[in-house]
Amino acid sequence: MNELNNNSMTVTYPSIYVGTNETQIFFTNSTPNLTEIYKPGKNNFQRRCFVTDATVATLPCMVDFIKNFTDGKCENDELIILGSGEAYKNIESVLTIVKTAVDAGFARKDLFVGIGGGVICDLTGFAASLFKRGAHVEFVPTTLLAMVDASIGGKTGCDFDNYKNMIGSFFPAQKIYMFPEFLKSLSKEQFRSGLAEAFKTSLLYDKNLFQIFKTEKQKILERDPEILTKIIQASANAKGNVVERDFTEKNERMFLNFGHTFGHALETIVGLGNIAHGDAVAWGIGRALDLSAKFDFCLESYKDEVLNILNDYGWETKPVHSLILGGGTGERLLLAMHKDKKNSHEKIKLVLQKGLCDTFTKEFTDEEILSVLTVK
């Protein structure tokens, strides 16, 4: 991968379809001006289907862009405004995007543009991968989670039957435009959710980023632009390097699921959308490190250091999350964990750590996993 140069970087990987062998990522600290970037109604070579949600569509920096469209149309371009949140990350939303493109007579050479958080990026990318077996797609991520994780690497999809990301494809965006200015509009919950994914990246790949989380908490929570730019660029660089080496998640890319097998199970049993994804992942990191320490893969001191940081930022790390109601907590979590896409046998494959930036995978029995899902 090209190193960060002049506020841009390029990620390359095996081509899925003509034109999908690389992603250009652009970082800018200016106010987002999507009218200037895309010039709705003025591209005669390529039609565009813009996809956003009801929350992003009302942001002040989006007003002028939205005004270009009347009843979702601007010359040959289309605009779709979906509902906001995890509840809309379903196959119906994907088909809404596809049907809009079909009804408008789009061709394979035309472009889908997702403007929003992880949900919108995942849905738009998945729709683009399905449309005529692969159109073009670009992203303008508007949340921290989407900037540091969801928009990068080509994973697309939707939830199904109350299970997280059960349907999807590997289909990378050709361009991603990062505007940290969008982060000013995020709720505290949304912002913290994105921080969890960036903190996960620091544990896996970036000791300098880990130190930023340890020493710059006040600036991070105040959303200091310089610190956020460092976090976004470091996270994008780390994930881009991993994706280049293992695009379809056969080996090392599995490490990026650190905390996710536990976290996705938590999201399932409390109801998708009832807990922020990053909060669930942070809790899952705590469970994974408890398991790592229990079986002597990592030192208790390392586990405690990470859990203390998680707690300091407000994430829960206890074996039973406060949002879980009713009995049989461990058993219900295990049932959801067995649905995880990474499992290939009766045992559950988990990402664990021996220490900072020292990661591995291992399969565990239900009984072993239950030991970190119950109150001691």
Active site residues: 133, 155, 197, 239, 249, 253, 257, 260, 264, 277
On the CB side of 229, CA atoms within 13 Å amount to: 13
Alpha-carbon distance of 361 to 287, in angstroms, equals 14
> Of 138, 135, 136, 109, nearest to 121 (Cα)?
138
CA 42 to CA 272: how far, in whole Å?
A: 39
Strands (E), the chain: 8-12, 22-27, 48-53, 73-74, 77-82, 111-116, 136-141, 155-160, 163-170, 175-178, 348-355, 358-364
**Nearest partner of 283 among 249, 324, 255, judged by Cα:** 324
